[in-house]
Structure 1
Amino acid sequence: MSRAFLVVLDSVGCGGAPDAARFGDDGANTLGHIHQTVGLRMPNLMRLGLAQAAGLSDIAGEGLFGVAREVSMGKDTPSGHWELAGVPVPWDWHYFPDTHPAFPPEITAEVAKFCGTDGVLGDCHASGTQIIERLGEEHMRTGKPICYTSADSVFQIAAHEESFGLERLQDICRHMAPMLHAMKVGRVISRPFLGQNAADFKRTSNRHDYAMEIPSPTLLDWAKADGRATYGVGKIGDIFSGRGVDENRKGFDDALMGHLSDLVDEAPDGALVFANFVEFDSLYGHRREPEGYATHLEWFDEAIGPVLEKLRKGDLMLFTADHGNDPTWHGTEHTREQVPVVAAGVGRKDIGQVMFVDVAASVADHLGLSERGPGRSFL
């Protein structure tokens, strides 16, 4: 029985979204601009067809390749992943204004009340790493949690794992999630960090996303309904609020590559493995570091080579992305882009331009699932 591995390279867009101007992103192109600025050497994914899919070269690939476009009115993680899993977002997300303060007073008052402090720090749009560097020492002195957001529909709370406490941080995020979800804020995210001062603060791998409940069954649910084993790698379990995921394996990207490799060895026939590699986005896209982004892409390509070689006959491994985050673009937010679709295990095929929901339909088709959702299979 066939297995399927759906691998999301978080934020690795390839430009060209027809509605990019609506989001202020007309001309953004994550892969294209990194290639122009730094250059990219990715022989494994290029051989499958990434270069042609992303418009980096006319050399045809040996695998399945094309690009996908999104219809959900967002350029965020839940919108992209939900739609890739067959469920476009049926509402408009709430976004906080880029002002100071950014949050309604009742939100920050509730955070402070729960934490027993006389206020919060931040209350603004910010880069997660930069705000920890700026406010982390004050947070450790005062115990006040650091609250911030971005151009995405998120409410993030950063706190020191030891001085504030990881469980306490997760408790406050869990407490705040219903209030924020009622406002159509997509995620409340706990952002723990360690270190003694601004020079050595580092976020840990114990991040947890408290996402809104997805409104209808996804590819993961379809697979479970047909009795298939389902695995999440990275933040998949958080994005889908645990729905449809038998087991989720987390860590930084190097650990996630190990988990994906192990699942190629271990996952039973008929299994669905859904993975997200986030550090393209979190470490390099938001920080606007094209050199670091290029280095991480090349690391991923080198590391995925041995994993591809272990695929069994009949396996599908499909690589795509959830949005863009062009590190040469203005600002620090995601960019509205189409995304590459590249796959091994189904022969050579140029699928041209498809939709995000077609990814779910195609994976379901490969697995022989009863449900295919609103998309069309391109296999």
Structure 2
Amino acid sequence: MKRAFILLLDSFGLGATPDAAKYNDSGANTFGHIAAWAAKAGTPMNMPTLEKLGLAAAAHTACGRWADGFSQRDGFTAAYGAARERSTGKDTQSGHWEIAGVPVEFDWGYFPRTVPSFPAELTARLRELGNVPGFLGDCHASGTEIINKHGDEHVATGKPIIYTSADSVLQIAAHEESFGLERLYELCEIAFKLVEPYNIGRVIARPFVGANGKYTRTTNRHDYAVAPPAPTLLDHVKNGGGEVIALGKISDIFAAQGVSRVVKGADNMALFDALLKVADEAGDGALTFVNFVDFDQAFGHRRDVAGYSNALHEMDARLPEFMAKLREGDLVVVTADHGCDPTWTGSDHTREHIPMIFFGPGVQPRALGISDTFSDIGQTVAHHLGVQPLSNGTNLL
């Protein structure tokens, strides 16, 4: 019996890639800078499970230095390494697709850092088809900041809040109660069709609740995403008769392509609870792919170093629960899709190496070095499950 689990810690980078200067990210290091911050604060990070698996060693492989507070230098229990992205940019979709064997060989469209950010003809058509009185925002912004800035006016006028980022994305925020959740979804569906000529990867519905300048986003986010341009690992597993279980936003990122079952969760720990349940249920040949989004959404983009550190400690403390459920023939990989250094300037992703930490009952511990593509992860999983090889990547085990 063989099963596979991809545990993706969204945005958990291990240090800038050689081409990071093209993205103004030279020196970015999500893990390293969080560890340095914690050590300086007098509370060094303590993640014994991930450290024993080889996390700090993988980071040393990626950036040439050991993270502050991590002292283990040998005796690791996983096959560990790091990977560099072949795709251009540092987008969510690009990272996930490349892991699954489909690097993005084209350039996404992006909206400029101007105010307004969106073309006038686009917003005019969206206003007309969406039957809204206008828009607020229309700029690059942090999602939590922009809803608190414009939330009162949005509720008073019914004008949705639109914004973008360094990702290929158009985001629309609206109040669940005063504007309506289904109406927001309908507006995003219209926008998704309208941005097609601009080669935009996603339109994201960002519902929120609250009043009087104090607003919080809800768990009813929905991504309208372009489908991968070629079959991915998910397709290969599903076509080979295995179940593909997508936890969190995985199904949205792959436009539901190759997905058998969708499991949602309100936050990292809710998703971890779901992962434990799936670990009991998943059958032979199953692929479970989970995205722990809080690292990116709640802490990386918010530049919340303490929150990011706490979330990593929570994850490390719970991993033994999951590991206790592993069976003979199981393969697990802990990885990421890009960086989002919470000490970096701005609020965007950072171009970084990602971890590749493979473990399971049959995995022999060893150093894997640095892969030139995230697709090595997907190819290794495909080989383990015995499905059709991917068109990109090398089996590492």
Superposed pair shares fold, TM > 0.5: yes
Aligned: 1:146 with 2:164 = no
Amino acid at match of 1:378: L
Partner of 2:127: 112
- Residue of 350, 361, 373 corresponding to 2:367: 350
Select between 202-211 and 176-185 the one with higher mean Cα deviation.
Answer: 176-185
- Residue of 349, 356, 366 corresponding to 2:384: 366
Provide TM-score, normalisation by structure 1.
0.98
Unaligned runs of 5+ in 1: none
Partner of 2:22: 22
Select between 226-235 and 305-314 the one with higher mean Cα deviation.
Answer: 305-314
Partner of 2:59: 54
**Shift in Å at residue 235 of structure 1?**
0.4
Partner of 1:276: 291
Give the ranges of 4+ consecutive aligned residues of structure 1 lying more than 4 Å apart after TM superposition: none
Select between 251-260 and 54-63 the one with higher mean Cα deviation.
Answer: 54-63
Partner of 1:123: 138
Partner of 2:243: 229
Aligned: 1:137 with 2:152 = yes
Q: Are the aligned partners of 2:165 and 2:348 in contact in 1 as well (CA < 8 Å)? A: yes
Amino acid at match of 2:11: S
Provide TM-score, normalisation by structure 2.
0.93
Aligned: 1:310 with 2:325 = yes
**Shift in Å at residue 189 of structure 1?**
0.3
* Aligned equivalents of 1:72, 1:264: Cα separation in 2: 31
**Shift in Å at residue 299 of structure 1?**
0.8
Unaligned runs of 5+ in 2: 39-43, 61-66
Percentage of pairs with the same residue: 52
Select between 231-240 and 280-289 the one with higher mean Cα deviation.
Answer: 280-289
Say which SS state the counterpart of residue 195 (structure 1) adopts.
strand
* Aligned equivalents of 1:270, 1:115: Cα separation in 2: 44
Deviations 1:161-208 (A, max 9, x none): 111111111111111112213311111000011112322x11111111
Select between 7-16 and 109-118 the one with higher mean Cα deviation.
Answer: 109-118
**Shift in Å at residue 371 of structure 1?**
2.4
**Shift in Å at residue 245 of structure 1?**
0.3
What is the CA RMSD across the aligned residues, in angstroms? 1.1
Q: Are the aligned partners of 1:45 and 1:342 in contact in 2 as well (CA < 8 Å)? A: no
* Aligned equivalents of 1:176, 1:329: Cα separation in 2: 31
Select between 236-245 and 366-375 the one with higher mean Cα deviation.
Answer: 366-375
* Aligned equivalents of 1:129, 1:64: Cα separation in 2: 38
Amino acid at match of 1:118: P
* 1:1-379 equivalences in 2 (<5 Å): 1-38=1-38, 39-55=44-60, 56=67, 57=70, 59-60=73-74, 61-199=76-214, 201-251=215-265, 252-345=267-360, 346-354=363-371, 355-379=373-397
* Aligned equivalents of 1:292, 1:17: Cα separation in 2: 25
Q: Are the aligned partners of 2:11 and 2:295 in contact in 1 as well (CA < 8 Å)? A: yes
* Aligned equivalents of 2:132, 2:196: Cα separation in 1: 23
**Shift in Å at residue 111 of structure 1?**
2.4
Deviations 1:196-253 (A, max 9, x none): 2322x11111111111121000000000111111110010000000000011111222
* Aligned equivalents of 2:127, 2:194: Cα separation in 1: 14
Q: Are the aligned partners of 2:88 and 2:104 in contact in 1 as well (CA < 8 Å)? A: yes
* Aligned equivalents of 1:350, 1:214: Cα separation in 2: 31
Q: Are the aligned partners of 2:83 and 2:370 in contact in 1 as well (CA < 8 Å)? A: yes
Say which SS state the counterpart of residue 54 (structure 1) adopts.
helix
Q: Are the aligned partners of 1:111 and 1:120 in contact in 2 as well (CA < 8 Å)? A: no
